Structure 1
Amino acid sequence: MRRHPQISGRVVPGLLALLLASAVALLASARPAAAHGTLAGSTPAANATVRGPLASVQLFFTEKAAANAYFTITAPGGTRVDNGWSYGEPKPLDQPVREYFLVNGQFEPREYTTGFPAVVAVAHLPAKGQYSVSYLSIASDGDTVRGTMTFRYDGPVTAAPQGWSPPSTQPDPALLAATEQHQTSGQVSAVPTTAADPSTPTAAVAAPTESSSDSDSGIPAWTGWAMAVVVAVGVAGLVGWRRRPARTGRPTGRGRTSAATSRRRGAGARPTSRTAGGRTGTTRRGGGVGATTLDSEPRAGVDVAAGTPESRLGNTRLALIVGGLVVALLAGFGLARVGAADESPATGAARAAAGGPPASGQEVSAADGHQHAPGTGPHTHPGDGGTGQTLATGTTVSANGYTLQPLERSQPPGVRTDYRFRIVGTDRQAATRFAVVHDKPLHLIVVGRDLTGYQHLHPTMAPDGTWSVPLTLARPGGYRVYADFSVTAANGTQQPLVLGVDHTVPGAHSPAALPPAQARATAGPYAVSMTGTPTVGVTAPIHFQINRADTATPAQLERYLGAYGHLVVVREGDLGYVHVHPEPELVDGTVKFWLTAPSSGRYRAFFDFQVAGKVHTGEFTINLP
């Protein structure tokens, strides 16, 4: 029978060596991140109390801010009091600042000893209370540098300069275009190399803590590499053992010389063998590269060019060994990267507080439509849309392997109907494990396409994963339904998501015109005032003051879903969704939020608050040029 051509015994080891070298080169190709221009400190220091007038706020970065960087200072009443900015003289930091960068699956520290200040002028100090400073810049490596800090002012009130008016400028369009490429900052929080004195101007920005909705069960970055090293050492030991020479005159397993072969050699015959290249000489059987011949001549009927059966078996074992080594290295690298990526901000904050590397991406960012105040640990829930590159979400029905699957797509006008749906995973099964976030496992937001008819509902889930909630929609037209939740995977990790789907109420529809932008709204018996300057791409403070409409006395707010208020902002047109949570406590008698507006356009803001056990909603229109 005709034999098929076979690969030379020398070719297989060469191919395996090439495969191993390629894997090593692949693993070595991960390049470290460059500097990100982190905020290293400020004067006054974050959270400090200032008792005398000040003419400017200095923000010290680990590299110079971009020439078109954007800075704001907001007074307690929500009015901007910044009056331009300029570069200051670099100065040594009182304490070196350490930044951590993920390099080949491991956090590596870099220390910076020089601060590059941006000096933001303060026009006047109109009131005592908390002042907020926001910044937006682009680092030398192209990443976005975005964040906030606050300080309290307890000194005398100062008057505005004659002819001065609060600025209403927006960031440079070129700056916004650059930030769109790196919507999240991608940098880690900076921490001083030693414990900071709160009174020093270079106190580092504190790493935020995570809410209870997020997981802290990430795999340590070193675990994967440790596994790879252990496996590699084991494989190396196996290879070395297999290459151990056989003892003279002793059979070596399947490679022993048969009696028939010995008789054919004759007494005292010198054992020889021919390799594929025709070379002769004393050889031995082994598992290493280039040691694939036997202590005998080729047997009758064996194709010498193809090697002996034992040599082919050796090549197979060698392939398995090297392939296992490559898989182990790649798996270790992957586990290290997964462990680093899955590490929660809570874990990172704890590590930063202990002097260890914080988790990545903790500077103010808003990647999936959830935005939290710095006091509660500002964070965003990554993963919506699979990109983490948008500030508004809910525009897709599927994201990160999960799909919002409604059981009904329409209902009659004015009829109370059970709205039912499921959250389906990639296995086409309904998810049933959800984390409790702000007192509920899932928040359902319903709003008309004309930005009317807002409702904030809380469905209940049946054992089979079907959610249901009574829903009444008075007016015909199109609606958008948002499911805001954090699903819990089998390994305990949580994936926060916002999914959106259309819902229809048949009938003649007359879209309502969006009301003009106003700073005051009525919600039942209460008057709600909104102050602040929402800004595209910049994390800006927004304050809400609630008074009784008849007496103008402050309302006695109660916590609703664990907070003094909730803010949902929906963009006109594509109905992009942003859900913002406030500071944990009232700030100067107001509910304070940090809002990062996703883009120019018109928005409708829905502010939920509770008084005397009843929830009210103040609605506002926001115009962003």
Structure 2
Amino acid sequence: MRPLPTTLGRALSASLALLLATAAAVLAAAPPAAAHGTLAMSTPAEGATVTEPPASVELYFTEKVASNAFFTITAPSGGRIDNGWTYGSPKSLDKPIREYFMVEGKFEPREYATGFPAVVSVAHLPTAGLYSVSYLSVASDGEAVRGTMSFRYNGKATAAPQGWSPPTNQPDPALVAAVEQHGSSGHGSTGSSTAPAASSPPPPAAAPAAAEEDGGVGWIAWSGWAVAIVAAVAGFLAWRRRPAPAVKRPARSGPGTRPRKASGSGTPGAKKRAPTAAAARKGDAAVTARTATATKATDTAAKAAPEPAESDVEAAPSGIGLSNTRLALLGGGLVVALLAGFGLGRLGTGDSATGAPVATAPAGVPTSPGGPGGLSAGDGHQHPAGTGAHNHPGDASTAAQATGTTVSAGGYTLQPTQRSQAAGAAVDYTFRIVGADKQAATRFAVVHDKPLHMIVVGRDLSGYQHLHPTMAPDGTWSVPLKLARAGGYRVYADFSVTAADGTQVPLVLGVDHQVPGAHTPAALPPVAAQATAGPFAVSMEGTPTVGVTAPMLFRVSRTGAPGPAQLERYLGAFGHLVVVREGDLGYVHVHPEMELVDGAVKFWLTAPSAGRYRAFFDFQVGGQVHTAEYTIEIP
């Protein structure tokens, strides 16, 4: 097999060596999934359908929730039907939960087989449909424990207790402050071995060592990573190993020596000529590196093979001889190492498909559908429709859920070409998203059918527009923009940029924009659950709650006509919701469901703080987009 040219071989070998070293470093540094005090199971179970009215909902966590934990149960109509909560008696979990703690710089697993319940009373069940349960607490290590779960009730409606009214209380400010303090302290989601005095963790149901010996897969996970790292390092060392000194064959000369034939002119049975002395002096290792025994075998094989061309026999300097075979083996070793580490690592985390114990997601992030803790997690507020209730990395701090208050975040900056325009004039608004390298980003993920969404709203929360700019090859975005009134505005760029390593970075960046002239701020409309958008009446249902992921439902009907309107998908979903906070104009995370839920468009809203907000609900009927606007006040 023909070796690669020296220069190319050296470049490829260096690149593969770097890849091997990087793989080993990544595999060695990759921490296991970690969560603390997470929701392990519930009664009713997540996604279950019940026909008999439950008197309570029992949520089983891997440790006792804080005494000031907060729980809500929301009916299909959006109203709360919870009636307080109490601690329950511990119970064995259906499936043990493995959590990881950082102890003296190392991750140590603890397996929990006992659940510690919070029993949330149900006041009544006003109708059949989907009920949502939300929770907020702080784990023993200070991490937020936040999420939702849902169940469907198909039984008869039950009456509310006499004198009972739907609760409107918000979480304890001390609980919210604890969540915010943890989220802003730089504490990672990997956990800590230090527990605050607020609550103490229960002892593990089984000691880590025993858990690993009794058929647990944790040792397989760690072994998998070890095997991958050893394979990568061994491959690297084998590649670097220099060959043994060559035993050179003396050049043959004298009578009987046949001249070497050109490429393609060899004849069957022609004997392969040994290299000349000049070639030997040049270090032609590909030909001269033979032992005396190998020489006979080579000469014998050469009798039945065509004579190789002179160009086919090249010098390969010692330690750089990277033939196609060695290149393939080296690349294959790298792939095997990566796949082995990934596959065994997945096995160790307890993939639900295997039925093994589950290694839960970071605290405060609900798990995937069908599992405890609610719905799937995401990396940012922008994502495909239907992701459901979830939080994001950094959402442990409720303040972090209001984005768009800065022009730079995540290493990217919003750079508009102009910062003002005349009232009533249509201009071509242009801008770039610039990375840390001072270059315009050009790789964006398509989210909700568009690579970037631009939201414009006045500082008095009027003049809302939802636009979709187009990008030129140089990374310059442009869109026609017309602002009728003088005053200050906020322009938000809502996008997910694809970084150099292929990862997606979801961001919302905001910048001020001015329209010169006399300006009188518009008064914020009063709080109301009903709004009109063109010929449609739109009702808003739900109870926004500070720090708690709460469902919000919107029902659209044609004014004066019975029944719901026939909604069409707009940007991949049946509706989109933008919520902006009064004052700092914080842009709040909101997540839509893919499908209608009991005839309504359902969103999940986590309010970052008390105060007033303006909500803008976009929906489409008959090919035309309409916007219903609401004022929300959270005490």
TM-score bracket for this pair, using the shorter chain length:
0.5 to 0.7
Counterpart Cα distance in 2 of 1:389 and 1:107: 29
* Aligned twin of 2:616: 606
Question: 1:277-426 to 2 correspondence within 5 Å?
Answer: 351=351, 353=353, 355=356, 357=359, 360=362, 362-363=365-366, 370=381, 376-380=387-391, 382=393, 390-426=400-436
* Aligned twin of 2:50: 50
* Aligned twin of 1:507: 517
Secondary structure at 1:557's aligned position in 2? coil
* Aligned twin of 2:90: 90
Counterpart Cα distance in 2 of 1:543 and 1:347: 39
The superposition leaves residues 482-528 of structure 1 with CA deviations (integer Å, 9 ceiling, x where unpaired) of 00111112221111111100011111111001111100000111011
The superposition leaves residues 81-109 of structure 1 with CA deviations (integer Å, 9 ceiling, x where unpaired) of 11110011111123322335678999765
1:580 paired residue among 587, 590, 599:
590
Q: 1:372 to 1:132 in 2, by over 3 A?
A: farther
* Aligned twin of 2:500: 490
* Aligned twin of 1:596: 606
Q: 1:534 to 1:138 in 2, by over 3 A?
A: same
The superposition leaves residues 341-387 of structure 1 with CA deviations (integer Å, 9 ceiling, x where unpaired) of xx9xx999995555575664643799987277995254456579x99
User: What is the identity, as a one-letter code, of the residue corresponding to 2:387?
Assistant: T
Secondary structure at 1:86's aligned position in 2? strand
Gapped regions of structure 1 (runs ≥ 5): 1-27, 190-219, 242-335
Q: 1:381 to 1:156 in 2, by over 3 A?
A: closer
* Aligned twin of 1:171: 171
The alignment's TM-score, normalised by the length of structure 1, stands at: 0.67
Counterpart Cα distance in 2 of 1:579 and 1:182: 19
Q: 1:34 to 1:616 in 2, by over 3 A?
A: closer
* Aligned twin of 2:69: 69
* Aligned twin of 1:545: 555
Counterpart Cα distance in 2 of 1:351 and 1:367: 18
Secondary structure at 2:179's aligned position in 1? helix
User: What is the identity, as a one-letter code, of the residue corresponding to 2:497?
Assistant: V
Report the CA distance between 1:133 and its aligned residue. Answer: 0.5
Q: Confirm or deny that 1:433 pairs with 2:411.
A: no
User: What is the identity, as a one-letter code, of the residue corresponding to 1:620?
Assistant: Y
Q: 1:42 to 1:449 in 2, by over 3 A?
A: same
Secondary structure at 2:171's aligned position in 1? coil
With 596-605 and 370-379 compared, the bigger mean Cα shift is at: 370-379
User: What is the identity, as a one-letter code, of the residue corresponding to 1:512?
Assistant: A
The superposition leaves residues 547-596 of structure 1 with CA deviations (integer Å, 9 ceiling, x where unpaired) of 11121431101111101111110001110002423111111111111110
Do the aligned residues in 2 keep the contact of 1:420 with 1:466 (CA within 8 Å)?
A: yes
Do the aligned residues in 2 keep the contact of 1:368 with 1:388 (CA within 8 Å)?
A: no
Supply the RMSD in Å over aligned alpha carbons.
4.0
Secondary structure at 2:130's aligned position in 1? strand
With 144-153 and 545-554 compared, the bigger mean Cα shift is at: 545-554
Counterpart Cα distance in 1 of 2:524 and 2:178: 31
Do the aligned residues in 2 keep the contact of 1:442 with 1:483 (CA within 8 Å)?
A: yes
Q: 1:82 to 1:372 in 2, by over 3 A?
A: farther
Do the aligned residues in 1 keep the contact of 2:469 with 2:477 (CA within 8 Å)?
A: yes
* Aligned twin of 2:6: none
Q: 1:42 to 1:187 in 2, by over 3 A?
A: farther
The alignment's TM-score, normalised by the length of structure 2, stands at: 0.66
Question: 1:453-468 to 2 correspondence within 5 Å?
Answer: 453-468=463-478
* Aligned twin of 1:80: 80
Counterpart Cα distance in 1 of 2:403 and 2:377: 10
Do the aligned residues in 2 keep the contact of 1:49 with 1:152 (CA within 8 Å)?
A: yes
Do the aligned residues in 2 keep the contact of 1:484 with 1:499 (CA within 8 Å)?
A: yes
Q: Confirm or deny that 1:132 pairs with 2:132.
A: yes
Gapped regions of structure 2 (runs ≥ 5): 1-27, 192-220, 243-337, 367-374
Do the aligned residues in 2 keep the contact of 1:30 with 1:103 (CA within 8 Å)?
A: no
Q: Confirm or deny that 1:479 pairs with 2:512.
A: no
Secondary structure at 2:177's aligned position in 1? helix
Q: Confirm or deny that 1:154 pairs with 2:151.
A: no
Counterpart Cα distance in 2 of 1:121 and 1:359: 27
* Aligned twin of 2:574: 564
Report the CA distance between 1:233 and its aligned residue. Answer: 7.6
Do the aligned residues in 2 keep the contact of 1:366 with 1:379 (CA within 8 Å)?
A: yes
Counterpart Cα distance in 2 of 1:622 and 1:542: 12
Counterpart Cα distance in 2 of 1:441 and 1:67: 44
Report the CA distance between 1:472 and its aligned residue. Answer: 0.6
User: What is the identity, as a one-letter code, of the residue corresponding to 2:78?
Assistant: G
Question: 1:250-261 to 2 correspondence within 5 Å?
Answer: none
User: What is the identity, as a one-letter code, of the residue corresponding to 2:600?
Assistant: T
The superposition leaves residues 432-474 of structure 1 with CA deviations (integer Å, 9 ceiling, x where unpaired) of 1111011000000000000000111000000111000001100
Q: 1:63 to 1:588 in 2, by over 3 A?
A: same
Counterpart Cα distance in 2 of 1:379 and 1:144: 13
Counterpart Cα distance in 2 of 1:414 and 1:393: 29
* Aligned twin of 2:479: 469
